[in-house]
Structure 1
């Protein structure tokens, strides 16, 4: 890559980003760029720095050093409302502690945009349908299951209609069907030109939907490339300290990671 960020292609650029907590480096001099029309999965073991990286990239956490550029401008120079039109964020903790209906929560995604009641209603309707929560739209969000609440928060992100989308473990509370559905929608956003960055624990979900996988380990980048380049036995075993087999998915043609028994067959 060139040394200078290209705002046309590199909609998001992190340069020398470090985060330290209690003297420990959570992120250590990370350099990354993210392009429009791509879905990047951030993976790695617990404590690797994935969610911290997402928080820094989205502007929710200021780095101790380094800088972040969004669409060519320093992230700190963005006004809050304009930033909310440029990027949307699904955090890990998306609990709503007030008695809003599901539809009201999803409609909050429209708040950064100039009011347009008809267009807003269409966008909210589409987000409810995409997240498979139309039947829940009148429910108090405080009565939802974990998976239903997660899909409601995801629908709010969809309703925000931003060109950059950050998703922190969007599949964590979901069943198999909805895990695939959320990642297919994220893939569709990228195919339509958005820059999507998603934190995942499931390497096979990452392989099946991402253009690019960034593996974090100890606050640094351990690997960065396509699923085939990154999801190798050597890399996974080095980062996760877990024996694995890496096969080829029979229909998708992408890597398929299977845990191996370190004790051997019995």
Structure 2
């Protein structure tokens, strides 16, 4: 994407020529992307397109084979662990906790990178528990939670970390319809309050309903990048996903609504 000087001033995250190779195969291939404050970007694409790998590189959890990543103007590799944890938070796909912590204790771990302030920390943790709808079982052992409950607990920890950059890898995968919408509304609110939020999603309609921008990946490259209306076209989706679709207008949200079509209909 092209940017003028004002745009560049807003960029909090930049990936330049980022490539990742595993067993000789390009998982990411020369990715150039910029991400701005106050935006929610959805990373979408078929299985194996490179979405989670891109998120891992951008968050500092994976070192690319080539290229560089800059966070808030500094090379990502130069960040120390504690300041980095105050700058960006990460919700990974695998958020299982294998020790007997309570839900509140896990959420409170989000405050560890910050200087201790018991009163403020307590208020922030309470707000995170409430927002993620886990306050009513705050005392439970996390090892006894369902998949959806564990996912919401991990999301609450991210909220408690209060960082200006937020990475969410498939945060809605284990959630019911109500909580899918709730998590994306909260993520949207973080962006509206000035955060840079980057979320991996499989549901194109969730992406359309909440994201300012969609980056669609295919085979480790950017296949499309723009607003939901620019990216979620029938031609682009069918080319990338190899699945017939209809793209309609959502009756209340005014965004694209993607519906799978039946390939047998043309037989």
Alpha-carbon contact 1:7-1:72 (below 8 Å) kept: no
Aligned residue in 1 for 2:114: 113
Are 2:184 and 1:183 aligned? yes
C-alpha separation between the residues in 2 aligned to 1:4 and 1:48? 31
What is the correspondence of 1:89-104 to structure 2 with a 5 Å cutoff?
89-104=90-105
Q: List per-residue Cα deviations over 1:59-83 (Å, max 9, x = no partner).
A: 0000000000000000000010000
User: 1:108-152, CA deviations, whole angstroms, 9 ceiling, x for partnerless residues?
Assistant: 000000000000000000000000001110000000000000000
For structure 2, the 5+ residue unaligned runs are: none
1:58-137 aligned at under 5 Å gives the runs: 58-137=59-138
Number of residue-to-residue matches in the alignment: 266
TM-score, normalised to structure 1, is 0.98
Question: How far apart, CA to CA, are the structure 1 residues paired with 2:146 and 2:126?
Answer: 21
**In structure 2, how many angstroms separate the alpha carbons of the residues matched to 1:55 and 1:182?**
20
Q: Which residue of 2 aligns with 1:255?
A: 256
1:209-252 Cα shifts (integer Å, max 9, x gaps): 00000000000000000000000000000000000000000000
Q: Please list the CA deviations of residues 34-89 of structure 1 after superposition, one character each: whole Å capped at 9, or x if unmatched.
A: 00000000000000000000000000000000000000000000010000000000
Residue aligning to 2:194 = 193
Q: Give 1:8 shift.
A: 3.0
Q: Is the 8 A contact 1:6 1:72 kept in 2?
A: no
- Name the TM-score, length of structure 2 as normaliser: 0.98
Distance 1:108 1:66 in 2: 32
Distance in 1 (CA, whole Å) between partners of 2:3 and 2:141 is: 50
5 Å-filtered alignment, 1:1-266, equals 1-2=2-3, 8-264=9-265
Q: 3-state DSSP class of the match of 1:263?
A: helix
- Following the alignment from structure 1 to structure 2, what is the Cα–Cα distance between the partners of residues 93 and 4? 38
Contact 1:44 1:239 in 2 (8 A): yes
Distance 1:246 1:180 in 2: 21
CA offset digits 1:193-216 (Å, max 9, x no partner): 000000000000000000000000
Any stretches of 5+ residues in structure 1 without a counterpart?
A: none
The Cα of 1:4 is off from its aligned counterpart by 8.9
Q: Is the 8 A contact 1:107 1:124 kept in 2?
A: yes
Matched residues in 2 for 1:3 and 1:14: separation?
17
Report if aligned partners of 1:43, 1:200 keep a CA contact under 8 Å in 2: yes
> How far apart are 1:265 and its partner, in Å?
7.1
> How far has the Cα of 1:6 moved from its partner?
6.7
Determine the C-alpha separation between the residues in 1 that align with 2:165 and 2:135.
Answer: 25
